[in-house]
Each structure stands twice: as structure tokens, then as C-alpha cells.
Amino acid sequence: MRYSKAFIHTYYETPKEAETPSHVFLLRGCYIYPVAAGVYSLLPLGHRVAEKIKQIIREEMDAIDCLEITMPVLNPAELWKKTKRYFDIGPELFRFRDRRNREFVLAMTHEEVVTDIAKQFIKSYRDLPVTLYQIQTKIRDEARPRGGLLRVREFTMKDAYSFHPDFDDLDRFYPRMFNAYLRVFARCGLESIPIEAHSGIMGGTGSHEFMLPSEYGEDRFVTCSSCSYRANTEKAVGKKNMPQDDVSSVPPAERVSTPGVKTIADLKEFFNISSERFLKTVAYSADDQLVLAVIRGDFDISETKLATYLKAVRLELAPEEMLEKHGLYGGFLSPVGLPKNIRVVADDSVTAEIAFVAGGNEPDVHFKNVLYGRDFSVDEITDIAEVRDGDGCVQCGKGVLKIRRGIELGHTFKLGTKYTASDTMDVTYLDSGGKPQRVVMGCYGIGVERLMAAVVERWHDEAGIIWPITVAPYHVVIVPIGQKPDVMTLAEECYHRIGGKYDVIIDDRNESPGVKFKDADLLGFPIRVVVSQKLLQQGAVEIKVRKTGEVIICPTSELVERIEKVENQLLPNLTGLPFMDE
């Protein structure tokens, strides 16, 4: 490719709307063009990178016997109503009617369609297992698009769906997909950290996220200082300190007047005790049912954990009208003396044998000297606490948890029978004995444009992008200095010699060396070959490696061999990845 024909228009100013390094450099390098908030066109350079990422994904999917298909973005609403996600998902799902008044959605994922396909064709145990995948457009009405390609409304995703005769077969296949994901990300130049994750709207029995540590990431996850424990903060469990009093000497619970004292901060000052001595009670509406969540005052409630425990589709703070209907008062709630008809879920931290201060369930009143088991009890106790930086590790019992920020590169789910159950898509097969059995599913996703942005977040410097050679739009840029015929002739010879093996672009513009070098660095081509009058006299060219800055003066006759050596040094190392046992 010739630079003059490549539709590249670089910018040296940082765009005002750009928030992250990938957003800045992909805009400045003419890789993407914003069409609307969260909607981007991939320009020629961006398209080439995306296609190389797709090819890596295809190779790894095909290597574990996955079969590629294409499913429509336009989905009949009745499929989504069968799984109830039509009603459960909020405004993120685009819903509309066609000219014949039929209801449709724009797919943000394809479980419904692929399960409908499976239902039509999987009839016998001989048809299983099978894994279908696609690389297809997804649509999501994202409330807050940000970070360029990191959070968008229209995107390309590789989504795979595996179908199994039973859970054991899913468990045998799952490590193959898990390990394929590690290879995909490593081949793209990224060191991903697999972590335990919350399944969210996908549902299922278990899932993993693959995280790239980044200060610009929206996800938070924890790592242990002493063992292999890794988990999303929505899933992570920390070791809780459990202080203990001599409960035999704790006096009876005492009613205390606390006019205007509602918050933990106010209570700490009023009672002059630490936050762990308070019971924090928060009222929620879980699918329109009142639930009180109780936790120790030094912890915060994880609404994700609570919603998962409750199996609630919609969880939000209870409105005042709901509290008034049950004779309760915001700011003074507690599990002490509640009517039996109110559902209460408590974090296991409240079972500490200490004297608590708790709300009085009436305005301007609290109780002190409250003991679990004596003054109140809760039938439903589970972990609903947000993990904290510095919490102990429950897995090894020795390490300390550290909260880190990251970009989610991919997600794998053990869906189980969520979409094949009798009350959803109802997908069965006949086993070897002729008896009907429920099909078991797995689901696995990677966002292509997000992966592209993540590569830039990981590989850039002040000058621009540093593409890994595996996904670079062009492996080599040839930069002739000046327009003298002998320089241009040698540059053309190098272009044709290298072009048989590598993707090459020649900067044939009549621009200064400074402009050409600056653009090459911004665009992130892994290898730069400079042809100049001075080098020509030596029978040599200059090779510069973008990643390391290494400069090699190379005889023109050895150019291809030297580039091969540089390429071998730049190829990602796939050894030492945290593979799951297959």
C-alpha cells in the first residue's frame, strides 16, 4: 500500500472529547471516526486491525472444533419473551415495531436465536456436543458511552455457544474455551488475568472474566498477595474480622432518643464508637417486593450480590411510599422488633458477638447494646458485603486482597439450562436409551473493537501507538528520505521485496523526514525501514523497531532476513499462561 492512497489523515492535536489513550490515538491516527455518541466507523487502518483480531479469534475457535455461523441482528421479540429477557432487560435493549406492527429487538447478544436453532436441529445424543460461533454486530443502548471503543452502543463481538448432553460434558469443554481465550489475548499482545465473575443478565452456574489491568478500566477486581485468588469485586469475598465482646456482661438493649441522627457518620459522633459497632439497614425494592438488607457499619452492601441472592431482576432503593406502607421510617431502620412479614437478608458480619447500635424503627430513635441472637435474629444470612482493599483472603487465609482497575477483554459463562429449560426455550434431546434429556449450554464472548482499544491502552507511549506485530495494520513502513530517483528506486525495490511476506506501506509523500517519522510513530507500525542518500552510499538501509527503539543498519541484501529476525523477537510468547487443566 502507498501512503498517498491509504486514506490516512493524522492529527497532532488531542481531540477534546477523547478521555483515554486509546481514544486519543485511534482518533489522531485516523483509525476510527465518531458518527454519534458511542457509534464509530472503522476507517481503513482500524478495519485492518479489526480483521487481524478476527482472524486470530477464528483460528483459535476453529482449533477447538467450533463452527462459524452468522445470526441476524434483527430478532423477533417473541424469542426474547420466551426467555423473559424482553421484560427483564431495561432500556439497554432496543425494542420497536415494523410496518406490520410486529415486535422486534436489536440483538445485544444471541442466546435466544442460537438456542432456537439448536432446538430445531439437536434431536439426539449423537448431535452433541457442538459449539457454534459468530463474529457479528451487537446493539446496546448504552446510557454513558465513554472511552472511545471501550464502551459503545454498536460493536462487533465474537460470541460462541456450546451445547452439551450434561453438565459433566460442559465442564470438560469449558477449559478448552478458557485456554483458547488466553491464547487469543496473548497473540494480540495482552497479558490477561482470568478472574471469577458475576454472571449478570446472562445467568448460569459460573463465569470468568479476562481482565487487562488498566487505570482507565471501568471494572474492579481483586488479587491476593499470597495465592491465585482472583475475582471481580461483584463476586469477590473478603475475610471479615469478627470482633468479640464478653456478651454475658452486655446490658439489655436500651432505647435512645437520636433526633436528626441518621447516617453512620452522625451515629459515630453521637455514640462515640467505631463504625463496626453499628447495624446498617437498607430498604430495597426487589422486583417490587420490600427487602431489608442488614450489614455491619464498616461494610457496604454489594447490590449485585444481594440481587443475585434474591434472584431479583430489578433491585433499587425502596421508595418512601413503600416504607410508609409497612410502617417503616428511612434512616431509622433495623432488624430489631420487625414484623414477621418483612423479608430480611443479613450479611454474615452481623453475627459478630458484639454490642451493636441499631435503628429503632421509629423516627429519632436508636437502640444500643443490641446483640445478635438475643435482641434480633435473621433467617437469611449470606455474604452481601462489598469486598474492601486490604481484606484478608478467604482462599489461602494468609494473603491480603488488593483492588485493581481493569478492562474486561472477554467473558465466559456456564449457562447450564437457563435457556433450554421448559419454562424458556425448552430444548431437549433423546439419550442413548431413548429418554428425553435437557440440553446444557455454555456461552463465550469477546468484543473486537474493545480488544483493539485495550491493545492501545497497553501498548502506547507519548508519541503514539505501539502495535504488536500480530495485529498491526501494516508490519513495515518504508520511509524514503527525499525524492531523488535513486532513493525512490531503492525504496520501491525494498517495498516489493518485503511485500511478498509482510504487510508493507511505503510513505511516498513529498513530506519532510520529521513529518514522516512522527506519523510512523503515531500510527504505531512495528518496523520502520529508512532509505536515504547517505545510507544508499553505504549499500544499506536503517531498520528501527517501534517497540524497543532499537536501530539496525542493515545491508540492503539482508533486509528480509533482518526483518524476519526482528519479527521473531516481536512475536508474543504463549508459554507460562495460566491455562486451566483440560
- What CATH number does residue 193 fall under? 3.30.930.10
Mean pLDDT of 180-202: 86
Per-residue pLDDT band for 331 (boundaries 50, 70, 90) equals confident
pLDDT in tens, 469-523: 999 999 999 999 988 999 999 999 999 999 989 999 999 999 999 999 999 999 9
306 and 230 within one domain? no
Backbone angles phi, psi at 117, to 5 degrees: -60, -45
Mean pLDDT of 298-325: 93
Q: Which of 197-211, 212-226, 250-264, 552-566 has the lowest mean pLDDT?
A: 197-211
442 and 369 within one domain? no
pLDDT of residue 199: 58
Residue 288 has pLDDT above 80, yes or no: yes
Residue 200 has pLDDT above 80, yes or no: no
Per-residue pLDDT band for 262 (boundaries 50, 70, 90) equals confident
pLDDT of residue 202: 45
pLDDT of residue 500: 87
Residue 404 has pLDDT above 90, yes or no: yes
Q: For residue 389, tell me if it sits in a domain.
A: no
Q: For residue 576, tell me if it sits in a domain.
A: no
pLDDT of residue 205: 62
Average pLDDT, the chain: 94
String of DSSP letters for 327-347? T--TTS--STT--TTSEEEEE
Q: Report d(CA 392, CA 402) in Å as an integer.
A: 9
563 and 484 within one domain? yes
pLDDT of residue 204: 55
Q: Which of 65-69, 247-251, 448-452 has the lowest mean pLDDT?
A: 247-251
449 and 418 within one domain? yes
CA nearest neighbour of 441 among 130, 73, 127, 55: 130
Q: For residue 174, tell me if it sits in a domain.
A: yes
Q: For residue 487, tell me if it sits in a domain.
A: yes
The percent of residues in the chain predicted with pLDDT above 70, rounded, is: 99
pLDDT in tens, 5-63: 999 999 999 988 898 999 999 999 999 999 999 999 999 999 999 999 999 999 999 99
As given in the structure block, the three cell numbers for residue 347 are 450479611
Q: For residue 581, tell me if it sits in a domain.
A: no
360 and 504 within one domain? no
118 and 196 within one domain? yes
pLDDT of residue 267: 84
Q: At which of 322, 349, 382 does a domain end?
A: 382
506 and 446 within one domain? no
Q: For residue 398, tell me if it sits in a domain.
A: no
Q: For residue 579, tell me if it sits in a domain.
A: no
Residue 234 has pLDDT above 60, yes or no: yes
Q: Which of 67-76, 126-135, 260-269, 444-453 has the lowest mean pLDDT?
A: 260-269
pLDDT in tens, 214-225: 999 989 999 999
pLDDT of residue 196: 86
450 and 332 within one domain? no
User: Quick check: 148 and 82 in contact, CB under 8 A?
Assistant: no
Residue 113 has pLDDT above 60, yes or no: yes
Residue 185's H or E segment, with its range, is helix 167-187
Could you tell me which residues come within 8 angstroms of residue 514 by beta carbon, excluding any fewer than 6 positions away? none
Angle between helices 44-63 and 448-458 (to 10 degrees): 110
156 and 44 within one domain? yes
417-422, long-range: CB < 8 A, 24+ apart: 417/441, 418/83, 418/202, 418/203, 418/204, 419/83, 419/111, 419/112, 419/115, 420/115, 420/118
Residue 193 has pLDDT above 80, yes or no: yes
For 110, the domain range is 3-236+403-458
Residue 201 has pLDDT above 50, yes or no: no
pLDDT in tens, 424-478: 999 999 999 999 999 999 999 999 999 999 999 999 999 999 999 999 999 999 9
95 and 229 within one domain? yes
pLDDT in tens, 42-58: 999 999 999 999 999 99
126 and 70 within one domain? yes
CATH number for the domain harbouring residue 266: 3.90.960.10
When divided into structural domains, the chain yields a total of 3
CATH number for the domain harbouring residue 557: 3.40.50.800
- Please write down the HEC assignment for all residues of 89-119: CCCCCEEEECCCCCEEEECCCCHHHHHHHHH
Q: For residue 396, tell me if it sits in a domain.
A: no
301 and 410 within one domain? no
